[in-house]
Structure 1
């Protein structure tokens, strides 16, 4: 199980750490919360990396100290817990108070690191055990003291995370921040299962025999860490996840508008807007495409024919269309006929007359209606029939 869970989570955590570091550097922000997230994810990634059995054995040989990887992993776990506490403090407290409490926790972390290092050095000689180090040597008093110190520090951090997250989640409004805080609290609670199992290991080895549930360790450690990191980053990726349906809809509208947009831009290339690095985003591309269609229609206005529109309206009504679909067929027929008239440089005898202002539409309905026009322009037989029957009305 260690060979599967830990490498996979290490890759996932390193990827997340790289993305967080890139976002922090790109923003140029000195916000301690951003650095705390990056540091926490990096420490988690290092924990799962060195806990991978193959890496554990390799690190022991490279350093020349058996099971030194256990110390590295435990120090990373305690540092990970402290980083999350610092992050949550900067999320939930005023800057001055957050800075003061963060310093207290960093000092406590330094003390724990020194104590763990001293206790580890007193364990004595061991042989590399990359999957059962604790179970194998927990009977040694020095290792029992080391483990209890590590577990106490880690458990205190997890309890502090729960204490901060769960009450504060009730204070923030519904949304991804609330979900993230509660997910982080649940992850910390799952982490406490890991610490409980490790305490049972120590008690079993030192005092009396208890049933061993070692298989829970990798599952609880992996699940808890994954939930905590998911919760901490949820405010960032949750909004993007929620925006996916809207993004997919915009991409679909872009595809539907393309035939109309391409025909108009080919006829009136001057309406094409200058490229900008933002135009790759679907929302910006859609906004640009709508503007270019409307600008081209203004240029095409002298060639728009009322006769074509009347003929298209009769065809649409005979076909049982009404409201938005009827209006789309009429507009598409007028535009298609106008493009042909513009190429031939022939003005219609009955040009489009200024009509009453269109009823105000919100932006979403406006783009939806333009997409109906584009679909009719590209494929409606009613549009083609109306244009052919009024071909002489020029």
Structure 2
């Protein structure tokens, strides 16, 4: 199986899926902005490029149209069209409408002129045989092909350079985030695309009588890699926040699992803290928020039973084992809670009740929940917690 048969069909499917997803998103979101038209069109043109470049489709196109290697013309027109629509997209991303509209129109008019010239030059190449993977190499000796290739490469390279010129500087202006990552990924894809055009320039030199070293093996790899990075770059601004949401949801589910032992023990001892369900209770963010509230409410009920003596003993043991910082605080808190639950069951209040600390405004909600998860892990698994509650006499 050749590189063309392996890479091109996969990239074609990926590009068509991306085009379909963008089209569905545009239909759901009401009136379609020019930038959305451009990104959908760019994916579709890229999908068509790799579809007709697949050897089996290339041969089928020749048979259906009766024109040898017509897939080469279609692919090259789509490549130039792809770089043009990408320029239009970036112009609408980075400029106000009054600036983007005339500049986009100029690029579309230029593409139309290039398409006409390429078609005329392709017809002038004359009769050929089908070459589904080596069209350029097979006919590099024909002077007619040099003009066709030169026009194609100039148009495509100019588009790639324009994409790099727009993407890379603008990425510095938008600040950290998925848009910056997307712009830079797109720029890198365009840079790799220039490697493809450089390899094709060597073919042009061959056509005019020079004999430079050939980079034919690099052509499909550079084309595929560059296209893949451009697809990723164009989808990152829309897909990135969803990835963040998915990662955030997975993290909340993990925190829910970690809090469960402590939450279950506290709610069993103080069932009055359980909140009633509402229609959103199943959402991980809502469940986590409710679980944290129930833990803190149960702790308030247990405050008369929370023993500073148990906390001191837990601190000494934890320090002896080299713990410090948040892990040390988690062991101390877990030991106090475990002893308080036993004291509540025996209805024995602490002789040295806890002295509440003033709230720390510097602690944000995320860090607070993370610390509570450490407490829950220590409560469920740390041998230091059980040892501290056994070694002090201030509990039942």
TM-score normalized by structure 2?
0.78
Residues 1:57 and 1:391: Cα distance change in structure 2 (over 3 Å) = farther
Query: What residue in structure 2 maps to residue 316 of structure 1?
Result: 314
- Partner residue, 2:96: 94
Q: Name the CA distance, whole Å, in 2 between partners of 1:15 and 1:144.
A: 35
1:274 aligns to 2:278 (yes or no): yes
Equivalent residue, structure 2, for 1:134: 136
For 2:29 and 2:275, locate their aligned partners in 1 and report how far apart those are by CA, in whole Å: 34
Distance in 1 of aligned mates of 2:221 and 2:325:
59
Q: Which residue of 2 aligns with 1:16?
A: 18
Instruction: Say if 2:306 and 2:340, in contact at 8 Å, map to a contact too.
Output: no
- Determine the structure 2 residue equivalent to 1:190: 192
Question: 1:242: how far off?
Answer: 8.0
User: Is the 8 Å Cα contact of residues 350 and 394 (structure 2) preserved in structure 1?
Assistant: no
1:90 Cα shift? Answer: 0.8
Distance 1:153 1:393, change over 3 A: closer
- 1:71–1:226 Cα change, 3 Å: same
Aligned to 1:306: 304
Is the alpha carbon distance of 1:377 and 1:5 closer, same or farther for their aligned partners in structure 2, counting shifts above 3 Å?
Answer: same
Per the TM alignment, residue 249 of structure 1 is displaced from its structure 2 partner at its CA by 5.7
**Residue 354 to residue 5, structure 1, CA distance change in 2 (3 Å):** same
Equivalent-residue separation in structure 2 for 1:223 and 1:261 (angstroms): 50
Cα distance in 2 for residues equivalent to 1:85 and 1:341: 71
Is 2:156 aligned against 1:154? yes
Q: Secondary structure at the match of 2:283?
A: helix
User: Shift in Å at residue 103 of structure 1?
Assistant: 1.3
Distance in 1 of aligned mates of 2:195 and 2:85: 20
Alpha-carbon offset, residue 82 of structure 1 = 0.6
2:360 is aligned to: 359
Q: Secondary structure, in 3 states, of the residue corresponding to 1:319?
A: helix
Q: TM-score, normalised by structure 1?
A: 0.79
Distance 1:57 1:349 in 2: 87
Q: Give the total of aligned pairs.
A: 386
Deviations 1:207-245 (A, max 9, x none): 454443322322332233233334444444566778998
Cα deviations by residue, 1:280-313 (Å, 9 ceiling, x for unpaired): 5xxx25xx424333235426754x2634534532
2:290 aligned residue: 291
- How far residue 84 of structure 1 moved from its aligned partner, in angstroms, is 0.7
The separation in 2 between residues aligned to 1:300 and 1:73, in whole angstroms, is: 68
* Cα distance change on mapping 1:294 and 1:192 into 2, 3 Å: closer
Q: Which runs of 5+ in 1 are unaligned?
A: none
Q: Cα deviations across residues 14-63 of structure 1 (Å, max 9, x unaligned)? A: 34334444444444463322332222122212211221212212333344
**2:224 matches 1:222:** yes
Deviation at 1:73, TM superposition (A): 0.9
Is the Cα contact below 8 Å between 1:187 and 1:226 reproduced in 2?
yes
Is 1:183–1:228's contact at 8 Å kept on the other side of the alignment?
A: yes
Which has the larger displacement, 83-92 or 214-223? Answer: 214-223
RMSD across aligned positions (CA): 4.0
